[in-house]
Amino acid sequence: MLKLGRMASAMTLAVLGGFTVLAQAAVERIEIRERVPFAAGTSYGEAGAYEKIRGVAHFALDPRERANAGIVDLGRAPRDEYGRVHFSSEFVLLRPVHGKPTTLIYDVNNRGGIAMLGQINGRSPANNDPATAEDAGDGFLMRHGFSLLFSAWTWDVAPGAPAARPLVLVPPVLKGVQGRVNNEFIVNAVSDIASYAGMRGLTYEPATPNDPHAQLTRRRRPEEPRRPIPRSSWQFVEPAQAGGPGRIRLEGGFQTGVIYELSYVARDPYVAGAGMAGIRDLLSYLRDHPLEGAPVPKNILMFGISQSGRLIGRMLHDGLNVDEGGKLVFDGAYLHVPGAGGSAGFNSRFVQPTRHPSMLEEHDYPADAFPFTAAPTRDPVMGKTASTLDKARDRQGRLPKLFIANTSTEFWNRGASLVATTPDGGLDVAPPENVRLYGLMGAQHYVGRSRTRAPFTACVSTSDHYTTMRALVLALDEWTSQGKAPPASAYPSLNEHTLTSVADYRAVFPKGLGITPPEQNLREPRLKFGWRYERFGIADTVPPKQGAEYETLVPVPDGDGNDKGGVRLVEVQAPLGTHTGWNLRAPDTGFGWATSRFDGSFVPFARTEAERLAAGDPRPSLAERYPTRENFADAVRGAAENLIRARLLLPEDLERTMAGNLGLYDRIQQRDPADQGCNYLYATP
């Protein structure tokens, strides 16, 4: 049966002194479409059983409201008789059935997919629809009593398998408006047909089908001039599936080692920033209004991984963490692997949210821009002083509490040093009191899962930083709900001599490991889209002109090649090899100078001194470091206990940490050093 929740602020008209006053109505109504027991009534410790609620939030935004002024193109979207813009968002809520106030965590979905359960609970729900005990993984978030909320916020999600249920927003549309769109893409193998949309995404298609004036170009490196490909040698073809990303066919085929770019005039842009407003207003509603018989949350947190973390950064930058009534909609947020923070993108005309730069690609898309730090800094090139939180205060001047965590990979591929230095890389910038920074050293963007080197040159890093993420989630809840001081910031810095240039890194990185550090890291340019872009979010120069690059730095390696500073994970304190934040692409991809977008490298130590000398490896062998397996177990336990004392590892995850590291130790001891495969990294074949 369909049930309707209460209206966030009923739309009413009152006549006061001859003026008609329109009450705020960001959320018009909540529509409940499904309410069922979660995981067949499985009980999760003291939290008990959970239920799943699936519904739709209906929004009505008034562009005249000050809180909505920063939403690009909202005032140009179709409006009702009261001047409001309408749209809706599907949501999924998992919550305990005990009816007590809980901490609500809003997980910003990543390209339509629920992300938090995969990394925190260890299991991504089948079909993006949490329903079974298996979908809850080890039940960590449930055992700790959190309510979990997921909703649609972006439109550019490519369709998946037939049974999949991605969360996809249908935002307001500016009918008839046109503008130029660029689509950059590469191929990892020669192919006659290629998709030109971004990663797992969609793009704006041509305003004119099979546009005869569309242009396709090629170049070898991002900084090289674009070389046109004759229009007669390529054509548009149908998507591989209905509603999927567009494709083109090229005579002679698309080649590896080439950056292609397709541009044309598109039409009907979405009001992309409405997705952030929808998150804001859904949280504002749930903060103040009981839903289906449960009390309001005692605490509200946001959590986002990668793209989703960058979205939180943009919400803060634009002040979309404060509702129309001037109140904070979340008490704290955890931005995980956002790189330089995400203060650009997500809120401009014809923006493609899935796009973001790496060392190799997509340098012309807005993703990161000054300011990068939560404390004010000055950009000497632009002549401006600002912080990411200039618009994030509520009407009482309060700010949310923030955790920002990056792995070693983000320093190489996503400008992560910029959240802690001046834009010229010359000075450290300490975070303000409401912000903590964590550098997860030796880890890559996600825990490595590839069993092959291809398309890279080294096996990936399997350092398990997910356990530290679990500790940080609990610490953020305790900080925001109980006032308990969080773990101290731990991030590479200039003052501690743990942050340096790529040239210096290359000079001190140990030789003879079989891998060579990259010649550069990502150095994002200042993008110039035209005068209307900064004021109104409308790009007139596409692709943009590139200005001076921001200065980005990387962690200093120790004698083993493991990064110094930051949070020293167990795998770095008691190492079995070298864990780097970079992994070079294989030469046969055509981009041997570039790094993997998300992966680091792992090179194990030699088992014995004889093997070490035979290989010319400068690093002490396992036998020299840990004469016995018990010695290694002691080292792992000591490293884990260091993290537990720092509240960066939970006691409940000690045995998981021990088992994971000892298992890898055993597999390295059993491995034939001549075997260049990567299967030994994993416990199961």
Provide the pLDDT confidence category of residue 389 given band limits of 50, 70 and 90.
very high
**Burial group, residue 355, by CB count within 10 angstroms (0-12, 13-18, 19+):** buried
pLDDT band for position 255 (50/70/90)? very high
β 178-185/259-267 pair status:
antiparallel
Q: What is the pLDDT of residues 54-105, one digit of tens each?
A: 999 999 999 999 999 999 999 999 999 999 999 999 999 999 999 999 999 9
**DSSP assignment of 359-399, as one string?**
SSS-TTS-S--S--SSS-EEETTTTEEE-TTTT---TTS--
Structure tokens at 389: 């939180």
- What is the 8-class DSSP label of residue 586? P
Mean pLDDT over the full length of the chain: 95
Instruction: Give pLDDT, residue 15.
Output: 31
How far is 385 from 367, CA to CA, in rounded Å? 19
Asked if omega into 371 is within 30° of 0 (cis), the reply is: yes
Residue with tokens 């935002």: 171
**15-19, 116-120, 169-173, 254-258: segment of lowest average pLDDT:** 15-19
**Which residues, 6 or more positions from 561, have their beta carbon under 8 angstroms from its beta carbon?**
509, 510, 513, 578, 580, 603, 619
Task: Check: CB of residue 553 under 8 Å from CB of residue 501.
Answer: yes
Residue 633 has pLDDT above 60, yes or no: yes
Encode pLDDT of 27-43 as tens digits: 999 999 999 999 999 99
pLDDT of residue 632 exceeding 90: yes
Q: Which residue has the tokens 């947020």?
A: 333
Q: Rounded to whole angstroms, how far apart are CA atoms 528 and 419?
A: 22
> Who contacts 210 (Cβ-Cβ below 8 Å, separation ≥6)?
235, 236
Dihedral sign for Cα atoms in the order 517, 520, 521, 522: negative
Decide if 556 contacts 582 (C-beta within 8 A).
no
For residue 552, is it left (φ>0), alpha (ψ between -120 and 50) or beta? beta
DSSP string, 76-133: GS---TTS-EEEEEEEEEEEESS----EEEEE--BTTB--HIIIIIS-PPGGG---ST
- Residue 157 CB neighbour total at 10 angstroms: 22
Other C-beta atoms lying within 10 Å of the C-beta of residue 462: 20
Residue 12 has pLDDT above 50, yes or no: no
